[in-house]
Amino acid sequence: MKNTESARQRIVILDYGSQYTHLIARRIREHHVYSEILPFGTTAESLRADMPKGIILSGGPNSVFADGAPSIDREIFELGVPVLGICYGMQLMAQTLGGKVVAGTVREYGKAELKADCASGMFAGLPEKFVVWMSHGDRVAELPAGFKPAASSENCPYAAACDESRRFYALQFHPEVAHTQFGEKIISNFVFAICGCRADWDMGTWIEDSVAKLRAEIGDEHVILGLSGGVDSSVVAVLLNKAIGKRLHCIFVDNGLLRHGEAAEVEAMFAGKLGLDLHVAHAAQRFYKALCGAEDPETKRKIIGREFVTVFAEEARKFQNCRFLAQGTIYPDVIESSSSVNGPSQTIKSHHNVGGLPPDLKFSLVEPLRDLFKDEVRAVGRILGMDESLLSRQPFPGPGLGVRVLGEVNAEKVRLLQEADLRVQQEVRKLPDYGKIWQAFAVLLPCRSVGVMGDQRTYEYTCAIRCVNSIDAMTADWTRLPYDTLATISNRIINEVRGINRVVYDISSKPPATIEWE
């Protein structure tokens, strides 16, 4: 049985700005329970109208005793529902309920061994000792009245605590990240054993709810979608087509920074096979001219974004009856580009979206995927019946090859990179475990080196190969490609792409590196 959204049980997460907040929501959804992220300033009164089964206070980058630190409505602790505080959430809970938080003498960041009291409901069914992921400087020095210790680590005597009579639980570590052993079980214990939820939600339900929301929001109006041909905007296109049909109009900007042959593929797929109303703007030379002389990554992103908006606006003005603008924004885009999603998170890098449109284009924004991770977006696409060949496409940055050509971008460098990247794709796709690779691509470095080809001295560009495994792009590890595959890629690029004479392989993980080089 699937409940409607209004009747469905839910877990509410109050966002205090952690980079991992949506991972908490994701882990809960993986248990087929609906979860919703709300701003940390949400009041108890606003929650009473649709009482959640449980509340989670996320982590965050602040100190609870700093000026202006995010706080909580104290009456939330009087709603009578279970509350779980994670990291900053634990410290905020302790301070609000009468405990004491101090600056730690030893900062814990990374893996730590936890010694747990398995009598606590959070740790039921777990071993006494296991590894967790810590990320904190402050710590709880005194527990509030009614609380008792539930776990400790070498540097943190109160790594977990609970007041089981009031169903309040607190964890100094992050159970939502993959680095914490049994983190999934800890969350499961809270959601099911403590909050009493039923597993009655899935992505099919999400689609039903989203289509209903879109129809209610859009009404009889028309929608413009900036279609890139990637997974995210493609799923949005099919979802909107299901919701409003022919009132969707897609604009595809060929900025000259796409993968080899991609522009033609997009036209064939969306205008031809799917029959969508697709309008193509051929603007490669315009982008190259604007990028001339720009070397800084953020400057290039801003130029590409600005030019995209200008070209897009020119096309959008042809549709006088469109009130809404749709985008394929997903959560990793939001968290890396916004300093305030629902809480006080910190900017990592800007992202390419259709923002800053001219005043005459007063669109209302529609972003139906903004709370989903990439694999969840793919799951939506599969339920909608989309081709696996499209859904399995690897992520591609909004600024395209503009941030894979390091330094200044021009048509010749883009051509070199397209040719090199094509050979990477061709060889990696031959691997039996290709489907496990999150992204594989080439990067053109802004340096030349000496080589020898046919007894002749060469002085040409260096190409880096980046290949990573990930689940949701929040963390990633470099892929251990077979040496034979690397050798073939290197040999093909150097011999077939004139202008590149050296190939290197990137073996850095995220963090500390990002997946893209710029």
The rounded distance, in Å, linking the Cα atoms of 427 and 46 is 55
In sequence order, what are the residues at sequence separation of 6 or more whose Cβ sits closer than 8 angstroms to the Cβ of residue 330? Answer: 232, 369, 370, 372, 373, 374, 377
CB-based contact 92:58 (threshold 8 Å): no
- The residues that bridge with 396 in the sheet, in sequence order, are none
Active site includes 408? no
For residue 122, CA distances in Å to 58, 161, 243, 402 come to 16, 10, 41, 47
**3-state secondary structure labels for all residues of 161-227:** EEECCCCEEEECCCCCCCCCCCHHHHHHHHHHHHCCCCCCCCHHHHHHHHHHHHHHHHCCCEEEEEC
Two tokens, residue 272: 């031809």
The rounded distance, in Å, linking the Cα atoms of 418 and 147 is 60
CB-based contact 59:20 (threshold 8 Å): yes
HSE (side-chain half, CA atoms, 13 Å) at 344: 13
Two tokens, residue 181: 């052993």
Which residue pairs, CB below 8 angstroms and at least 24 apart, start in 385-389? Answer: 386/234, 386/235, 386/238
Of 108, 176, 262, 460, the active-site residue reads: 176
Of 22, 108, 156, 174, the active-site residue reads: 174
CB-based contact 79:54 (threshold 8 Å): no
- Which amino acid appears at position 78 of this protein? E
CB-based contact 373:26 (threshold 8 Å): yes
Active site includes 31? no
- Which amino acid appears at position 498 of this protein? R
Active site includes 208? no
Q: Is the peptide bond between 432 and the residue preceding it cis, with omega within 30 degrees of 0?
A: no
- Which amino acid appears at position 104 of this protein? G
Chain centre distance of CA 199? 24
The rounded distance, in Å, linking the Cα atoms of 132 and 177 is 9
Active site residues: 87, 174, 176
